[in-house]
Amino acid sequence: MKTVAVDGETLTIHDAVAVARRGATVVFPPKTRQRVQRCRRALEEIVRTEKTLYGVTTGFGALGTVRVSSKNIKELQRNLIRSHAAGVGKPLPKDVTRALMLLRVNTLAKGNSGIRLKTLETLINMINRGVHPVIPEKGSVGASGDLSPLAHMTLVMMGEGEAEYKGATMSGKEAMAKAGIDPVELDSKEGIALINGAQMMTAIGALATWDSETLIETAETATALSLEALRGIDDAFDARIHRVRPFPGQIESARNIRLLTAGSKLVCSSSETLRMTANRSPQDPYSLRCAPQVLGAARDAIAYARRTIETELNSATDNPLVFPEDKECLSGGNFHGQPIAVAMDLLGIALTIIGNISERRIARLIDENLSEGLPAFLISRAVKKGMNSGYMAIQYTAASLASENKTLAHPASADSIPTSANFEDFVSMGTISARKAAEILHNVEFIVAIELLCAAQGIDFRGPNQLGKGTEMIFRMIREHVPMLRKDRILSSDIQVISELVRNGEFSKVLKTLKYGKPK
């Protein structure tokens, strides 16, 4: 089984996926242990000087001016966790919870939070032994970090709250006992160290970014298959066009569509098209001709999301932060989720665009007036007219999802509601941004699956033997799982089957094989 080392410096989205979805074991390097212990010693020295330290010897938020005596410090930390465990709604999916726990471990491992090694090891043991706190999805404004979600995580560390263990939900105390993990009694600063930071939004964002990278490649395969089903013109994908407007994503998308359609007898140049069909325009509609520009812009947005997420994965986001070399404890705002909020809103917009342009190609494929000779709603003309609706209603579903995404794409980061008696007067709403991006992603996976179904149906009428090398592989994969629609049947199951292939990256693998060869 793969192991992932947490050192506060080198965690990647790939590592997060390995732990969250593939059960990789978290290991803690000796140098990182030493760094954590050094920071704790520095904090304890500062506390002994009886300096006023926010969240250590004071209350929290608007209560930061209230001094707390040393004999009440442990109670202060317990009360912080209990009072902030105020989330509502459905529990987070298990993969998000595991990613959230890993990310919190990694930021604490930087050695700027002052947490005890024993406390941090408790969280690592929970990940490795499968104790997953039940964390409600709603309740964070993403400002002093994801306070409420992380408080629900920390409750289980204390032997309180609820957890999932080996498929069953139970009390946190019972789950910890069954896993053989001793609950912790939080000491000075440990409560605030565990809940200050944007780990919920970043966990959702890391997984959504990973899945978006798969989705954009799948969208390119769907575009290529639609291009052939609609007898498209390949001039628009010529490398020379994209070289003179050198956005990286645009260049990559055009290259991928060329690779997929290489050898196709269904796409041709504008001059060839005019020779064959005198009354046809030498240019395709934007949903085909501008696909590299549109999908390329989405690619660049996804790349920005990745850079932002991976910076945040390895950042110290606690408050206050301890700097052992200077023997100082400084208050700041690294917990604020604004960088992630903006990145997740951008990701949601990019995903919405992918779905929008996909739906427009679906609409062309089913419209006999726009599809270059394909039958209405992609059902054979040999079938008695009017008796079968074909793929009429499948476009309704795509249109519904695309419209829903347009509403979800409104940026949550543009909003702010003051909290904590106006002390926390500007918040990020980043957790909402991340949750919306994940929801849009799921919708677009369905839309792209629908496009693949419609494009494959169009290819059945054109002749699969005319496909390009890559698109033929895509078409065969679809037909291995879903037969051609010859008369009306229930379509939701077909959509579900293909969407699972989309989600699992099966179509993306075809493109990777063309680019890099078969994986060993």
pLDDT digit string (tens) for 92-142? Answer: 999 999 999 999 999 999 999 999 999 999 999 999 999 999 999 999 999
Encode 95-113: b = buried (16+ Cβ within 10 Å), e = exposed.
bbbbbbbbbbbbbbbbbbb
State yes or no: is 396 an active-site residue: no
For the segment 356-397, what is each residue's pLDDT rounded down to a tens digit?
999 999 999 999 999 999 999 999 887 667 788 999 999 999
Q: For a pLDDT cut of 70, what percent of the chain falls above it?
A: 96
E strand or H helix that includes residue 490:
none
For the chain, which domains are there?
A: 3-197 (1.10.275.10), 205-516 (1.20.200.10)
Which residues, in sequence order, are CB contacts of 140 under 8 Å at separation 6+?
87, 146, 147, 148, 149, 200, 201, 431
pLDDT of residue 520: 47
Asked if residue 285 has pLDDT above 90, the reply is: yes
**Mean of the pLDDT values across residues 410-418?**
93
Please, which residues have CB within 8 angstroms of residue 61's CB and are 6 or more apart in sequence?
Answer: 144, 419, 420, 421, 423, 424
Residue 334 has pLDDT above 60, yes or no: yes
| Residue 103: both structure tokens together | 């990310």
Can you give the pLDDT at residue 153?
Answer: 98
- Dihedral of CA 256/261/263/268: which sign? negative
- The pLDDT tens digits for 9-19 are 999 999 999 99
Task: Convert the pLDDT of each residue in 192-216 to its tens digit.
Answer: 999 999 999 999 999 999 999 999 9
Whether this model's pTM surpasses 0.85: yes
Q: Which of 54, 165, 286, 391 is catalytic?
A: 54
Task: Tell me which residue of 360, 341, 344, 243 sits closest to 301, measured CA to CA.
Answer: 344
**pLDDT for residue 425:** 84
pLDDT digits (tens, 9 = 90+) for 238-267: 999 999 999 999 999 999 999 999 999 999
How large is the average pLDDT for residues 58-66? 68
CA distances from 221 to 192, 280, 456 (A): 47, 25, 11
| Peptide bond connecting 136 to the previous residue in cis, omega within 30 degrees of 0 | no
Q: For residue 435, give both structure tokens.
A: 């949750």
Summarised one tens digit per residue, pLDDT across range 480-491 is 999 999 999 999
